[in-house]
Structure 1
Amino acid sequence: MDIPAPAPNGVQLHAPGVAALREAAVGLETAFLAEMLKSAGLGQHRESLGGGPGEGQFHSFLVRAQAEQIARSGGIGLAEILFQSLMEARK
């Protein structure tokens, strides 16, 4: 699932390596959002849920998946800023 993006000035979006740069930018935003969600307390083990000892071990997967979905849905705009910066550095 690619994030739709306007073409930077004169840059071909289908040029070799552009998809990899976009994926790298989304990956960085995902990592950032995962850390923010963890800091906000999302996915913390709650004793009242009764999920057992294994539940706590999989919370990081849930938080990471949620962060990735947020980033791929447009996120907070960080991926687009990173992508544009990477494209500028590529010139």
Structure 2
Amino acid sequence: MIQPVALPTAPPPPDALRRSAEALEAAFLAEMLKSAGAFRPTEGPGSGGEGEAHFASFLADEQARAMVARGGIGLADSIEHALRLRAGGGVP
């Protein structure tokens, strides 16, 4: 007899606390990227001017969100853990 194969299931969607922790990690990473000058516009002829500076900020924000989506630096895990303990909900 052929045994049915169990298909892998997708992980459950993150709850509101996890999403908040990830958003805080993304904001932190974006500020770190901006402070490091990772997307600082070039100066001189051919630069994008003031508009480029604004879009560089958007790029840093999006890069930070992408970093968090790929696991980040573990800050969201620490934040979520601390918030769950503080709320008395225990740790999953």
- TM-score by structure 1 length? 0.73
1:28 deviates by 0.7
Deviant stretches of 4+, over 4 Å: none
Q: Give the 5 Å matches for 1:40-79.
A: 40-47=36-43, 50-53=46-49, 54-79=51-76
How many residues align? The count is: 77
Unpaired segments of 5 or more residues in structure 2?
A: 1-10
Matched, 1:81 2:61: no
Q: Which structure would you say has the larger Rg?
A: 2
Structure with more contact order per residue of length (Cα contacts < 8 Å, sep ≥ 6): 1
Identity %: 47
Q: Which runs of 5+ in 1 are unaligned?
A: 5-12
Give the TM-score, by structure 2 length. Answer: 0.72
The 2-side partners of 1:89 and 1:45 are apart by: 42
